[in-house]
Amino acid sequence: MGSYVPGTSREQQEMLQAIGLDSFDQLFEKIPEKVRLHELDLPEGLSELAVRDAMEEIAGKNRVFRHIFRGAGAYNHYIPAIVKSVVAKENFVTAYTPYQAEISQGILQSIFEYQTLICRLTGMDVSNASVYDGATAAAEAAAMCRDRKRTVICVSAAAPPAVIGTIRTYAFGSGAEVVIAPQKEGRTDAEALKQLLDGRTACLYVQQPNYYGQLEDCEALAGLAHQAGAKFIMGCNPIALGILKTPAECGADIAVGDGQPLGMPLSWGGPYLGFMAAKENMMRKLPGRIVGETKDDQGNRAFVLTLQAREQHIRREKASSNICSNQALCALTAAVYLSAMGSEGLRETASQCYSKAHYLQKELAKAGLKLKYQGDFFHEFVTESEIPSSVYLKWLEEKGVLGGLPLSRRDILWCVTEKNTKAEMDELVGAVKEVTRLCS
Amino acid sequence: MQLITEKGREGRGLSLLPPCDVERAEPAQADCRKIPLGMPSVSETEISRHYSALARRTHGVNDGFYPLGSCTMKYNPKIDEEAAALSGFTQIHPLQPAETAQGCMEVLYLAEKYLCEITGMSAMTFQPAAGAHGEFTGLLLIKAWHHSRGDMKRTKIIVPDSAHGTNPASAAMAGLTVVNVPSAPDGSVDLEALREAVGEDTAGLMLTNPNTVGMFDENILEITKIVHEAGGLNYYDGANLNAIMGIARPGDMGFDVVHLNLHKTFATPHGGGGPGSGPVGCSEALAPFLPGARVQKKEDGSYGWTGAEQTIGSVKAFYGNFLVVVRALTYILTLGREGIVEAARNAVLNANYLRTKLADTYPMAYDGLCMHEFVVSLQSWKEKYGVTALDVAKALLDHGIHPPTMYFPLIVHEALMFEPTETESRETLDEAAAALLEIARLAQTDPEALHASPRTTPIGRPDEVTAARHPVVRG
């Protein structure tokens, strides 16, 4: 059996004696006999070598695709080596939440830098230290907008299903009502939306680019929300912000999103990162931790957890959220990624995603997969075809390609990032052509 | 120290991407950002040194003793990190076809099986990303169960006044009204107060056991019975499971829902505040309400997805903080059935050993043997010497020790809560005790020295009041 207990059994006996006991059982005397467990039905423990083999064997049952054209909330971007090296530093990995500022300046400063970079990326005034993921960030943002009169959360039908689902679950808790603004041709239907917004609407949530990859007219949608007196929450893809209009420029009150594209591997869905940034007037409603700059007793620059009067350990049931642990190491990852990329690198990454996605879309159209929605898109787009999606995807899978996500029998949601090369895309298109030819 | 955004020079940067190999396309100008990005312009050397400097200014479990009560800062085994870094886990897309993600599904299947055995639960979800997220999820299960029975009036959740702040905050998010019940003088649940608090509007009770003062509540079967008889359900906050894993199970104590903190009990690292993982286990009656999809083992031995028919929905995208679950599974496989018990026993042994060494000097908030943690109350020191819990905590920093949890639980004045965990050696505990006894001597002889601490840390005591009054939250 493996063990991380340093003391030998002799030492343990001596320590028991030091506290005046003879056996371990005496330590647990207060546990009623009726609830004492006599044996745990678990396998025997393993040596480190054996456990490494066991985990490798399990990991080996997964298939690692070399060519990935699937996104839908999890994006296959290049992760610079420096990012992996920094976030593996044991001090960062093994520290707890920085409650003791004097010995946590490194973590605190890194979060402050993360907040700074998120504010710059989104154009917003203030960022928190992270929440769990993009979906929970959206749900938390919606909760920030509620008041006694305004209890309805309006969500675009073109937002990702996971985001809509999470907002609904949080609303089941809080008692808020969720209404879905319909989509038309893959984008939020502004005309239908107008009919839904009223004096009970707390907020409107729109994602940019949306679930289908389409670019929304966020400025106009923000205008509609504001006309109704509601807040506008914009979900953003952080890579797209390298070139796309910021939530601040669109008039958003709160910007949220999933930070996974900023240096986090796919990891079968987590850990990822929820980022949240808001206008200054909503600062005290932001959930979770926020790091602030101050001075120590010698006048040195110092960083601390601040505005804690919002948080659960002070306000208990009146707190703005229950969040305690967040995704600090993922926030650090995002900050190192943004530093490594720099403005130029981030713009280039976004531009390559956009350019390559448009290249692939045109080539796929020639190969028999028609573009479904005609609006512009960032790095994801939907195709439709007469031949079932599954036929294409199965064929691609056999060639070692993870194709787009099947949305229905005929529709596929494709994603292209800077990692996908022209040669790889041409091969994909060749395979698609084969299927179209064979099945037509 | 300078921020990363204050370092570097315009034009510096890394060479990371090859040139674009397709024709360049651009979105319409109206869709493009006009405001500058303002990301750092730094070289790789600068990034590397910047973060090395920040790492030096960060105290982790690897740097020294970390007896932060209720946080279970045990050593984070390196093999767990290796397992989580396997490309067979990190490079798997969450929406890959199930037949190409059998390994990931096996991880969830095994983790569910083993953790259900450890907690005495029937089913588990891994979607919650942290303990508080698990609490919220578990309370929604309770709410959905009452609703499914047409019992809409059960809107109150009973929470002891010793509870962690997340308990009432989670209850509020779940739309439940918190009824605080006072603790008995020994820190346990006051049975009379509980009997008075329950009724037809009781949705349930939230409890940690061992409780937040480090004591196992001997009346646990009576407590859960009172709640069940009133028609409520019992929620177990797993923050303190480390003391009893393999020794007693929440399910056998009468709990219906349990959340675990894999980043406490199951040795996964805290990452400076996260990511954690807060799986929620429940009884068979509540399983139909679990969030997200669950892994099922099919007759042919392969894994497939199954959805709970009355699910509360998703509490997050995908399947939770998966790589954290990989670490926890590696840990459980390493320890196995004997190792899990050994860990709990030594966690309790270490706490009692340190407690015994301090008991003559430090006023203990509660008498008798403790479980995995103990609480001292320095109220008398504050009155006699003008020395507070904060002073003692700050003085410990100069000894290279992370202080215990301060000012929690709220029911103890000038509280310091120590949780040494099982992964500390006797020498470490002896050294910590010696440091604490030296601090106690100074409290009596030279309290000013304590007020002036810490002296050896990268910064002195920060001005938190100004930080909150005039917030500067970005560079």
Average of per-residue pLDDT across B371-378: 97
Domain layout of chain A by residue ranges? 9-59, 67-76+345-439, 81-337
Residue B241 has, within 13 A of its CA and on its CB side, a CA count of 27
For A141-174, write each residue's pLDDT tens digit: 999 999 999 999 999 999 999 999 999 999 999 9
- A353 vs A33: CA distance, rounded Å: 63
Q: With 80 as the cut, is the pLDDT of residue B308 above it?
A: no
pLDDT at A38: 86
Q: With 80 as the cut, is the pLDDT of residue A83 above it?
A: yes
From the list B173, B175, B174, B193, the residue with the least C-alpha distance to B183 is B193
Diameter over CA atoms, chain A:
84
CB-count burial class (<10 Å; 0-12, 13-18, 19+) for B293: buried
For A248-298, write each residue's pLDDT tens digit: 999 999 999 999 999 999 999 999 999 999 999 999 999 999 999 999 999
pLDDT band at A7 (very low <50, low <70, confident <90, very high): very high
CATH topology of domain B79-334: Aspartate Aminotransferase; domain 2 (3.40.640)
User: Taken in order B37, B38, B42, B44, is the CA torsion positive or negative?
Assistant: negative
Nearest Cα residue in chain A from B274: A327
Nearest Cα residue in chain A from B251: A35
Where residue B264 falls (left for φ over 0; alpha for ψ -120 to 50; beta otherwise) is alpha
CATH topology of domain B337-451: Aspartate Aminotransferase, domain 1 (3.90.1150)
Chain B residues whose CB is inside 8 A of the A290 CB are 471, 473
CATH topology of domain A67-76+345-439: Aspartate Aminotransferase, domain 1 (3.90.1150)
B424 touches A: beta carbon within 8 Å = yes
Helix (H, G, I), strand (E, B), or coil: what is residue A382? Answer: strand
- Hey, are the CB atoms on B317 and A106 less than 8 Å from each other? no
pLDDT at B193: 96
Residues A328/A397, Cβ–Cβ less than 8 Å: no
pLDDT at A143: 97
Residues A71/A381, Cβ–Cβ less than 8 Å: no
- Hey, are the CB atoms on A323 and B132 less than 8 Å from each other? yes
Strand order in the sheet with A177-181: A126-127, A274-278, A254-258, A231-236, A201-208, A152-156, A177-181
Q: Quick one: how far is CA A430 from the chain centroid?
A: 33
- Hey, are the CB atoms on B31 and A376 less than 8 Å from each other? yes
Residue A440 has, within 13 A of its CA and on its CB side, a CA count of 10
Residue B71 phi/psi, 5° resolution?
-110, -10
Find residue A234's DSSP bridge partners.
A206, A255
From the list B37, B411, B316, the residue with the least C-alpha distance to A138 is B316
pLDDT band at A311 (very low <50, low <70, confident <90, very high): confident
pLDDT at A380: 98
| pTM as predicted | 0.98
The encoded tokens of residue B94 equal 């969450």
pLDDT at A161: 97
* In the block, residue with structure tokens 């990989």: B326
Q: With 80 as the cut, is the pLDDT of residue A1 above it?
A: no
**Pick from A65-74, A385-394, B178-187, B277-286: least confident:** B178-187
Residues B213/B187, Cβ–Cβ less than 8 Å: yes
Average of per-residue pLDDT across A49-72: 98
H or E element at residue A180: strand A177-181
Domain A81-337 has CATH 3.20.20.60: no
- Hey, are the CB atoms on B32 and A244 less than 8 Å from each other? yes
ipTM: 0.98
Average of per-residue pLDDT across B41-67: 97
B461 touches A: beta carbon within 8 Å = yes
pLDDT at A315: 81
From A251's Cα to the closest Cα of chain B, the distance in A is 13
Q: Which of B102, B321, B342 sits opposite A61 (nearest CB)?
A: B102
pLDDT at A309: 83
Percent of chain B residues topping a pLDDT of 90: 97
Helix (H, G, I), strand (E, B), or coil: what is residue B300? Answer: coil
- Counting every residue written for chain B, the total comes to 475
A with B: how many residue pairs have Cβ under 8 Å apart?
Answer: 688
Q: With 80 as the cut, is the pLDDT of residue A188 above it?
A: yes
Find residue A214's DSSP bridge partners.
A377
- Hey, are the CB atoms on A2 and B37 less than 8 Å from each other? no
Helix (H, G, I), strand (E, B), or coil: what is residue A294? Answer: strand
Residues A102/B460, Cβ–Cβ less than 8 Å: yes
- A182 vs A179: CA distance, rounded Å: 9
Catalogue the long-range contacts made by B435-440 (C-beta closer than 8 Å, 24 or more residues apart). Answer: B435/B396, B435/B399, B435/B401, B436/B358, B436/B361, B436/B362, B436/B392, B436/B396, B437/B357, B437/B358, B437/B361, B439/B392, B439/B395, B439/B396, B440/B361, B440/B362
* In the block, residue with structure tokens 């990935």: A68
- Give the other-Cβ count within 10 Å of B108's Cβ: 24
pLDDT band at A140 (very low <50, low <70, confident <90, very high): very high
For B399-436, write each residue's pLDDT tens digit: 999 999 999 998 999 999 999 999 999 999 999 999 99
- B98 vs B103: CA distance, rounded Å: 10
Q: Which of B17, B275, B422 sits opposite A349 (nearest CB)?
A: B17
CB-count burial class (<10 Å; 0-12, 13-18, 19+) for B300: exposed
Is the bond preceding A209 in cis, omega lying within 30 degrees of 0?
yes
Domain layout of chain B by residue ranges? 79-334, 337-451
Q: Write out residues 186-245 of B within 8 Å (CB-CB) of A.
A: 215-216, 218, 220-221, 244
Residues A276/A137, Cβ–Cβ less than 8 Å: yes
Nearest Cα residue in chain B from A15: B353
pLDDT at A440: 82
From the list B447, B373, B384, B454, the residue with the least C-alpha distance to B415 is B373
Q: With 90 as the cut, is the pLDDT of residue B307 above it?
A: no
Helix (H, G, I), strand (E, B), or coil: what is residue B20? Answer: coil
> Which residues make Cβ contacts (< 8 Å) with residue B414, sequence separation at least 6?
B377, B378, B379, B381, B382, B388, B389, B407
Residue A326 has, within 13 A of its CA and on its CB side, a CA count of 30
pLDDT band at B165 (very low <50, low <70, confident <90, very high): confident
- Give the other-Cβ count within 10 Å of A400's Cβ: 12
| Mean pLDDT of all residues belonging to chain A | 97
Chain B residues whose CB is inside 8 A of the A76 CB are 93
- Hey, are the CB atoms on B345 and A306 less than 8 Å from each other? no
Residue A431 phi/psi, 5° resolution?
-65, -40
H or E element at residue B251: helix B250-253
H or E element at residue B304: strand B303-307
Chain A residues whose CB is inside 8 A of the B13 CB are 342, 344-345
B374 touches A: beta carbon within 8 Å = no
Q: With 90 as the cut, is the pLDDT of residue B360 above it?
A: yes
Residues A199/A219, Cβ–Cβ less than 8 Å: no
pLDDT band at B192 (very low <50, low <70, confident <90, very high): very high
Average of per-residue pLDDT across B58-82: 96
Q: Which of B90, B173, B356 sits opposite A322 (nearest CB)?
A: B173
- B422 vs B340: CA distance, rounded Å: 11
For A316-346, write each residue's pLDDT tens digit: 888 878 999 999 999 999 999 999 999 999 9
- A262 vs A77: CA distance, rounded Å: 8
Q: Which of A43, A297, A322 sits opposite B132 (nearest CB)?
A: A322
Chain A residues whose CB is inside 8 A of the B352 CB are 19, 27
Q: Write out residues 153-172 of B within 8 Å (CB-CB) of A.
A: 164-166, 168-172
From A51's Cα to the closest Cα of chain B, the distance in A is 6
Residues A264/A243, Cβ–Cβ less than 8 Å: no
| Mean pLDDT of all residues belonging to chain B | 97
- Hey, are the CB atoms on A270 and B320 less than 8 Å from each other? yes
